[in-house]
């Protein structure tokens, strides 16, 4: 098998593991195990908590002491065992700790997967910028494929989804050990832990523009966590009146439209970011979150199915326009000496602080609008839409930035791989 095909298998399986449970797990916890919204939100917030420090910590291990592909393999084998254990847990407190441990070994693998792919391509003489995006897109395909598998075989509210994820993680862990060696780089041995996890870039908070940008990145990152946590649980609650509808019978297929939309909207970023700049793009993203939640609030699996589909399509704009464009903004605005740390800080604010905030706060909102086990989903989604609307009203006044077209912007954006 060629190097690129081996990396396609790596990227496909990396996100197949995640897609098998990330979107459907909340529905399983609520519909099958009877967990409360607060308990589910806390369990999902473990990904944010782990993202605050584990990618940097294991990045240091891969930089200084151990081959990156071996660190990746160890993480996935450990994750396989933890996911298998999670499939047997019925207590919310124990589930929290098991999934926190799983997040601590899975979240670093997202960056490690990129590190291994870059290293192997470079060693084989390939141009990383040119050849990595076509490889990385298979990660998104893997995520969608696992969602479809779990949905089509009827495991979206079953612990079987965790068996699928566990088996995939075990296979990927073993496979990782067979990849070409990605040895520690001597050039990074002097880097401090603070630098590795992005703390060097905290100097950017002295710049009011960047301080506001990073703060809103966390607030918008919270919005992403909300639908990851409660999207499928919301659809499962329609079983009574719409038991035979497509949305209830196949919630995973419907939710996967969001990921398909994401892969398409990323193609529009070169035009929009180059023409309108980060401020307008972030405004579009925030307004898209308003529509994402609002359409959930007024949609249903019957006559309102088209509204749910529109919400899924809008997700691609909401996610890509803040996540991908935000990363590019950091790349263009940060000084070269702290550029890597700045990207680490952006990840901490979005996937760390944002996910932590979104998981905990959204769970409390769901519980507030739950009476005798019945959830008022319309009110829940309208509260989330109101949250996004508040951000949309404040952001243009808080973020002071004048867009200037930069000649390299379109080139940089066009080379970015899609994200899940």
pLDDT recorded at residue 411: 46
Whether 374 and 252 share a structural domain: yes
Alpha carbon distance 131, 136 (integer Å): 9
| Cα end-to-end span (Å), the chain | 26
56: domain CATH number is: 1.20.1250.20
**Domain assignment present for 296:** yes
Whether 253 and 217 share a structural domain: yes
**Domain assignment present for 192:** no
Number of domains in the chain: 2
**Domain assignment present for 207:** yes
Q: Which one of 119, 150, 183 terminates a domain? A: 183
**Domain assignment present for 190:** no
Instruction: Examine the pLDDT at 55 and tell me if it is beyond 60.
Output: yes
pLDDT band at 374 (very low <50, low <70, confident <90, very high): confident
**Domain assignment present for 191:** no
Task: Return the bridge partners of 374, or none.
Answer: 371
Instruction: Examine the pLDDT at 57 and tell me if it is beyond 50.
Output: yes
Whether 166 and 268 share a structural domain: no
- Print burial letters for 274-291: b (CB count within 10 Å at least 16), e (below 16): beebbbbbbbbbbbbbbb
Whether 159 and 43 share a structural domain: yes
pLDDT recorded at residue 225: 77
Whether 208 and 348 share a structural domain: yes
Question: Which is more confidently placed, 64 or 187?
Answer: 64
Average pLDDT (358-368) is 86
Instruction: Examine the pLDDT at 311 and tell me if it is beyond 50.
Output: yes
What range does the domain containing 177 cover? 1-183
- Detail the DSSP E strand segments found in 225-276: none
Average pLDDT, the chain: 82
Alpha carbon distance 156, 159 (integer Å): 8
pLDDT recorded at residue 419: 45
pLDDT recorded at residue 157: 85
Q: Are 69 and 180 in contact (CB under 8 A)?
A: yes
Whether 67 and 127 share a structural domain: yes
Contacts with 94 (C-beta within 8 Å, 6 or more apart), sequence order: none
Instruction: Examine the pLDDT at 64 and tell me if it is beyond 80.
Output: no
Enter the tokens of residue 364. 């409390």
User: pTM of the entire structure?
Assistant: 0.76
Q: Which one of 159, 183, 207 terminates a domain? A: 183
Q: Which one of 183, 208, 233 terminates a domain? A: 183
**Domain assignment present for 301:** yes
Instruction: Examine the pLDDT at 85 and tell me if it is beyond 90.
Output: yes
Whether 14 and 109 share a structural domain: yes
Whether 131 and 263 share a structural domain: no
pLDDT band at 199 (very low <50, low <70, confident <90, very high): low
Other beta carbons within 10 angstroms of residue 400's beta carbon come to 10
| Element at 375 (helix H, strand E) | strand 374-375
pLDDT band at 51 (very low <50, low <70, confident <90, very high): confident
pLDDT recorded at residue 409: 45
Question: Which is more confidently placed, 135 or 388?
Answer: 388
pLDDT recorded at residue 338: 64
Percentages helix, strand, coil for the chain, rounded to the nearest 5?
80, 0, 20
Q: Is 374 helix (H, G, I), strand (E, B) or coil?
A: strand
Picking from 232, 258, 367, 241, the residue whose alpha carbon sits closest to that of residue 304 is: 241
Q: Are 211 and 204 in contact (CB under 8 A)?
A: yes
Whether 413 and 352 share a structural domain: yes
pLDDT recorded at residue 416: 45
Task: Return the bridge partners of 371, or none.
Answer: 374
pLDDT recorded at residue 274: 73
Whether 234 and 151 share a structural domain: no
Per-residue pLDDT tens over the stretch 117-175: 877 877 777 766 566 667 777 888 888 899 889 888 888 888 999 999 999 999 999 99
Whether 360 and 234 share a structural domain: yes
Instruction: Examine the pLDDT at 266 and tell me if it is beyond 50.
Output: yes
Average pLDDT (103-113) is 86
**Domain assignment present for 153:** yes
Q: Is 220 helix (H, G, I), strand (E, B) or coil?
A: helix
Whether 259 and 375 share a structural domain: yes
Task: Return the bridge partners of 375, or none.
Answer: 370
**Domain assignment present for 134:** yes
Alpha carbon distance 263, 75 (integer Å): 27
């Amino acid at each position: 098998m060629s190097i690129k095909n081996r990396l396609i298998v790596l990227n496909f399986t990396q996100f197949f593991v995640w897609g098998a449970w990330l979107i459907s797990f909340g529905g399983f916890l609520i519909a099958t195990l009877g967990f409360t919204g607060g308990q589910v939100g806390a369990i999902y917030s473990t990904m944010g908590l782990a993202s605050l420090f584990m990618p940097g910590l294991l990045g240091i291990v891969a930089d200084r002491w151990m081959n990156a592909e071996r660190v990746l393999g160890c993480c996935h084998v450990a994750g396989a065992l933890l996911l298998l254990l999670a499939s047997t847990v019925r207590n919310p407190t124990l589930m929290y700790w098991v999934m926190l441990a799983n997040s601590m070994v899975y979240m670093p693998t997202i960056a490690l997967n990129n590190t291994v792919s870059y290293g192997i391509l470079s060693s084989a003489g390939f141009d990383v910028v040119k050849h990595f995006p076509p490889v990385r897109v298979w990660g998104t395909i893997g995520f969608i494929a696992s969602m479809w598998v779990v949905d089509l075989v009827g495991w979206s509210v079953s612990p079987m989804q965790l068996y699928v994820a566990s088996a995939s993680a075990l296979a990927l862990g073993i496979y990782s050990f067979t990849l070409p060696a990605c040895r520690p780089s001597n050039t990074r041995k002097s880097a401090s832990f603070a630098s590795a996890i992005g703390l060097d870039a905290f100097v950017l908070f002295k710049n009011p523009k960047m301080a506001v940008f990073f703060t809103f990145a966390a607030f918008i990152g919270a919005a992403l966590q909300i639908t990851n946590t409660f999207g499928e649980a919301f659809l499962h609650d329609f079983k009574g009146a719409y038991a035979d509808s497509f949305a209830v019978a196949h919630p995973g297929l419907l939710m996967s439209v969001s990921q398909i939309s994401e892969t398409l909207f990323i193609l529009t970023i070169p035009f929009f970011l180059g023409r309108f700049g980060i401020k307008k793009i972030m405004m579009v993203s925030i307004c898209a979150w308003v529509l994402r939640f609002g359409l959930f609030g007024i949609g249903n699996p019957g006559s309102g199915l088209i509204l749910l589909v529109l919400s899924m399509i809008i997700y691609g704009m909401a996610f890509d326009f803040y996540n991908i464009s935000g990363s590019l903004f950091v790349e263009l605005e940060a000084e070269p000496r702290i550029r890597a740390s700045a990207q680490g800080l952006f990840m901490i604010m979005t996937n760390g602080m944002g996910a932590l905030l979104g998981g905990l706060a959204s769970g409390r909102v769901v519980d507030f609008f739950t009476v005798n086990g019945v959830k008022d989903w319309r009110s829940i989604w309208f509260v989330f839409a109101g949250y996004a609307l508040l951000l949309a009203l404040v952001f243009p006044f808080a973020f002071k930035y004048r867009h200037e077209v930069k000649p390299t912007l379109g080139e940089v954006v066009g080379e970015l791989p899609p994200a899940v």
